[in-house]
Every structure is written in C-alpha cells, then in structure tokens.
Structure 1
Amino acid sequence: MTFASLARNLSFFGAGFALLATAAPALPQDGNDEARLRRLEAEVRALQRTVFPGGDGRFFEPEISAQPATRPSTTGASTTAVTDILARLDALEAQLQRQTAQNEENSNALRQLTERIDALEASGTRTTASAPAGGMAATTGSAGAARTVAATQASGPSAERLAAVQAIAKPQTEDPADDEYSYGFRLWDAGFFPEAQQQLTMFVEQHPDHWRTTYGRNLLGRAYLDDGKAKEAAPWFLKNYQEDKTGARAGDSLLYLAEAMIALDDTRRACIALAEFSETYPALAAGRLQGQYEANRAKVTCD
C-alpha cells in the first residue's frame, strides 16, 4: 500500500465513524426502525467497499440473510422481528470492531512510515553537510552532488581563485575598448572561463562597432564552449557569423558553430554549418582552418 492510498483510507475511516456516530442503533419500535437499520447496513457495506475496493473476503461479511419468505404466526411475529434485528445489530457491531482494529493498524503503519522518512531525510542532511565536496557524488548520489554544486556556487569563488584572477593584469593603452577585449582574452587564456564570459559579454555589449568585436563574439563563444556549455556558445558563434560575414573571425565562428552542434549531438545542424563553411570560406577550409575543418568533418556523417 502506498503512502497516498494509506492516508486516503484513513480519511475514509474517519468519515465512516462520523456516519456511525450519527446513526446509533436502538431497539425498533415499528417499521420505521426496520428501515433505519436497513439503511445503516447499506451504509456500512458502502463504507467497506470504499475503504477496501477489492471486495476481499477478509473484510466483508456475507450479506445478512433476508427475511423468511413465510412469516410466522401473528402471535410470534413481534418476537421474531426483535430477535432478527438484534442479531443483525450484533453483526454490525462485530464489523465495526474489525474496522476499528484495521484503522489502528493503518495508523501504526502510517506512523512508522513517517518516522522512517524523517530518519532518512535527517541522515541525508547530515551526510551532505559532513561529506567532502570531492567525494559527494560517490557518497550521496546525484541529489547530494547537486546540493554540493549549488552550495559551492552560492558561496562564490575561493580566495585563491580571486587572488589568481586579480594577478592577471588589465592592459592600459590608448584604446580602452581594446584593453577590455585583451583582458577578456587573458582571462580565457588562463582558463578562467566564467570570468572571461563576464568580461567579454561586457565588451561586446558596450562596443558593438569596435574592430575587435568580431574577435570578442567569437572568443565569447569559445569561452562557453571550453567551459562545457555548448548550448550557450552556439548563439554567439551564429551571431558573429550573421552580423558580418566578412569579419576577421566570422569564418572561425561558423566552424566553431559546427563544433557546438557536434557537442550537442545535433548532426543535422553540424553538417549544415560545415557545408556553409566550405562554400563561404574555401580559402580558410584549405588553409588556416583546414585541420580543424577536417577534424570536425570526421566526427559526423553528412549526406
């Protein structure tokens, strides 16, 4: 039985007890009491079928026998009716006792399940808090690893990383825009990809018409691609190619776009980018970028 069905059964039991509390049986005085008793029996059977929909014989009593086809004599009719009703009330009471016992069993099962869940959650929290970051995936699984990554990101870069980034000097020349690009290049070249992404994004947004912008967009795409983020890299490569196909790094971006598509297992778009590159930049395909072009072509099978 699942946690949800267990809780649902308990709610049905509560409704049934409220129903029985409002319909306490009494010795019948006339035909109206007989009708009330029949309704009570029907309601108990309905409650049983709601709580135990399978119709298991462990929970269902056989239908109470119907009244005899031939009634006894008039002098004994009253006594026979009272005896029959008392027997049926005894049967109802026995059924109610069994349902009460079942309710207690379900309550205990629910309590034990809740305690186990609480214990497991508490154990997982303690493991996550005490385990080293390097071994988290092995000790707590993917969920623990995800929590560790989130905690690391929330805590920010370490003091050592900040010091290493600050050690990279920013150029100071007569072209401040070129200095911004060059600083982004130095961050990328040192392997600080997130910092390079931030720096190069600022550069291309603030200097869209600078002669270095074609380099900046291409390098920004590479900063994402080298960081394992091909999905974020692809739009920058495509934008650099489309903005200015004669730009100094437009051909490079088209070839890197094919690499991003290969990384994303998108063979169709990778082949489109490779075909566009060979048609638009034949000199690059046979010259400076020949090795990269042929390596990419070897990774996919294009029609």
Structure 2
Amino acid sequence: MGIMTFRALAAPLVLLSVAGTATPAMAQDAATAERLKKVEAEVRALQRKVFPGGDGRYFEPQITAAQPTGGTTAGTPSTTAVTDILARLDAMESQIARLTAQTEENTNAIRQLGTRLGALEVTSGAAASAATPSPAATIVPVAVTPTPTATRPATATPPPPPPAAARPAGPTAQRLAAVQAIAKPQTDDPGDDEYSYGFRLWDAKFYPEAQQQLSLFVEKYPNHRQISYGRNLLGRAYLDDGKAKEAAPWFLKNYQSDKQGARAPDSLLYLAETMIAMRDTKRACIALAEFSETYPAVASGRLKGQYDANRTKVKCN
C-alpha cells in the first residue's frame, strides 16, 4: 500500500514539472517570432521607401513560417523553429543587401546630378552676359574709331560712342586688309589652331575680331587643353577693348571652372583689375584677398608685379 500510494502521488508531480519547464520555452519562442515579424515589417517599409509604388518586381514573396498543426503527414519532414528562423534571417539579409546596393547607387546618382547642376549655375552667368557666335560664324572685321592714346588706363571709363551719323558704315579697306593678313594656323589640332588665331588677332590689337574668334573657340572646344588660356584671353580681349562688364564673367568663369587651370590665377587677378575699372572696390578687394590666399606662390612670383600694382590702385581694409 505504501508503494502504490507513493506512485499515485509522484505521477501528478512529474507531469506538473514537465509542464512548468515547457511554458517558458513556448513563451520564448513566441517572443522570438514576434521580434522577427517586427523586423520583417520594418524591412518591407524600407523597401517601399527605396522602391516607391509597391511594384511586384522589387519584392520577393514573404517567407511564412510553418504553422503548427495537430499532426504531421507521413513522409513530409516538419520544420523546426530554428530552421524557420534561419530561413527568415537569410531572406532578410538578402533583402537588406539589395536595399543597401540600391541606396548607394541612388546616392551616387544624386551626387552626380548635384555636380552637373553646380557646373550649369557657374556657366549660366557668363553665357548670359557674353553671347557667343555659332560654330559656323566667321570673323568679320569691325569698324572702330581710333582713340587718342594707345594705352588704356585701368580705372578710366570708356569714352561714349560717337553719334550715329559719325559712325563708320563698315570696316575700312585698310583694317580689312590688316585682318586678312593675319594667317590662321593649319595643323593637325584644329582646336589649337582656333585658339592661336584668336591670340594673333588679340596680339595685333584687333580686339573685336579676337572676341569673335575666342568666343568661337571656347564654345566649340570646351574640353580642349588650351581652354584655360582661351577663356582668360577672351576676358582680356574685352577688358583691353574697354568692356570691363563683358570681361568680368569670363574671368570669373575661368577661375571657378578649374582653380588649378593654367590661367586660373591670372583670371582671378584680372577679375580684381576689372572690378577696379568698374569702381567696385568691395569686390576688387575680395578678389585680391582670394588671389593671395589661393595662389601665394604666384602672388610672390610670376604675377607679383601685377598683384602689387593692383593693390596700389585700391584701398582694402
């Protein structure tokens, strides 16, 4: 009787012990599954953020966990909680990798667009102020009225144009012959030929003709190795012709487009000179200060004389 009574009392205690240990495990599995569902929901939300529209091309079918049933079919292996979790984690890692790659591609594309827009903003001011001829344009000698002096004071205001009745109807035969006497180079580098021809016109002091030719060069060959020289010389052709307002955009564009360009320091210094000619002391001082900070070696070397001369023409704080 004693043994039978002991067994009758021990059996319920064993069942109670087993049930007590199973309950925390079931609660833990339920908490893990709930966390996975939350992570999957966040991944799907991120997918919709990166791929708006909910197009099925961007989404893989959701992985559903095998729901427990009352029994298993003979011959079909049942999935465990561990294999289900691993499968779902693998799917999420693949989705996150694809989202990361797509995000990097989008970021790179946005960066490239920003660069292109910045370049367009830099060039828009100069393009609006200095109209350029079409590539098919030819250099036409321009009638000019000779000035009393051969040199142009840096701060002098250009003389007013003569009355309409006094203006020449066209270029004189002498000027036409002089322009035609300047030969255009013919080499295997057509871009260099266009620039060199513009330089020869400027060097001969045919400034309006040089403006036409150099405008043709910078429009037709924007990526040529001589482009820094061409834009700077185009600004000088306007400045030497007494057209400081037209010269300033070209100096600014040449400096901003490529600060390491061969004539970028020259353009920044000529920009200061242009501002002095326009009596804009504030901007002249800004240009001189930036020149000395950006190109200290050039300011104390190749362009020291011009830099010192411009500093004496304006009083900066």
Question: TM-score by structure 1 length?
Answer: 0.51
Partner SS for 1:170: coil
Q: Which residue of 1 aligns with 2:162?
A: 145
Q: Give 2:251's match in structure 1, choosing from 234, 237, 253.
A: 237
Q: Verify: 1:188 aligned to 2:205, yes or no.
A: no
Partner SS for 1:302: coil
Unmatched tracts of structure 1, length 5 or more: 1-132, 135-141
Deviation at 1:143, TM superposition (A): 9.9
Deviation at 1:294, TM superposition (A): 0.4
Q: Which residue of 2 aligns with 1:298?
A: 312
Deviation at 1:174, TM superposition (A): 1.1
Residue 146 of structure 1 aligns with an amino acid whose one-letter code is P
Q: Which residue of 1 aligns with 2:226?
A: 212
1:105-154 C-alpha deviation (Å, 9 max, x unpaired): xxxxxxxxxxxxxxxxxxxxxxxxxxxx99xxxxxxx99932245x32xx
Q: Which residue of 2 aligns with 1:273?
A: 287
| Moved >4 Å (runs of 4+) | none
Partner SS for 1:247: coil
1:144-170 C-alpha deviation (Å, 9 max, x unpaired): 932245x32xx2211110100000011
Residue 169 of structure 1 aligns with an amino acid whose one-letter code is A
Bigger relative CO (Cα 8 Å, ≥ 6 apart) = 2
1:197-219 C-alpha deviation (Å, 9 max, x unpaired): 00000000000000101000000
Residue 269 of structure 2 aligns with an amino acid whose one-letter code is L
Residue 244 of structure 2 aligns with an amino acid whose one-letter code is A
Q: Give 1:255's match in structure 2, choosing from 261, 269, 294.
A: 269
Q: Give 1:178's match in structure 2, choosing from 185, 192, 201.
A: 192
Distance 1:262 1:285 in 2: 18
Partner SS for 1:253: helix
Distance 2:256 2:161 in 1: 42
Residue 202 of structure 1 aligns with an amino acid whose one-letter code is L
Distance 1:282 1:199 in 2: 33
Q: Give 1:198's match in structure 2, choosing from 187, 212, 223.
A: 212
Distance 1:156 1:208 in 2: 32
Residue 274 of structure 2 aligns with an amino acid whose one-letter code is A
What pairs up with 1:24-43 in 2 under 5 angstroms?
A: none
Query: Number of residues paired by the alignment?
Result: 161
Q: Which residue of 2 aligns with 1:225?
A: 239
Q: CA RMSD in A?
A: 1.9
Residue 234 of structure 2 aligns with an amino acid whose one-letter code is L
Q: Which residue of 2 aligns with 1:57?
A: none
What pairs up with 1:30-69 in 2 under 5 angstroms?
A: none
Give me the identity figure in percent. Answer: 74
Distance 2:222 2:264 in 1: 15
From the two aligned structures, give the one with the greater helix fraction.
1
Distance 2:244 2:224 in 1: 26
1:163-188 C-alpha deviation (Å, 9 max, x unpaired): 00000011111101000000000000
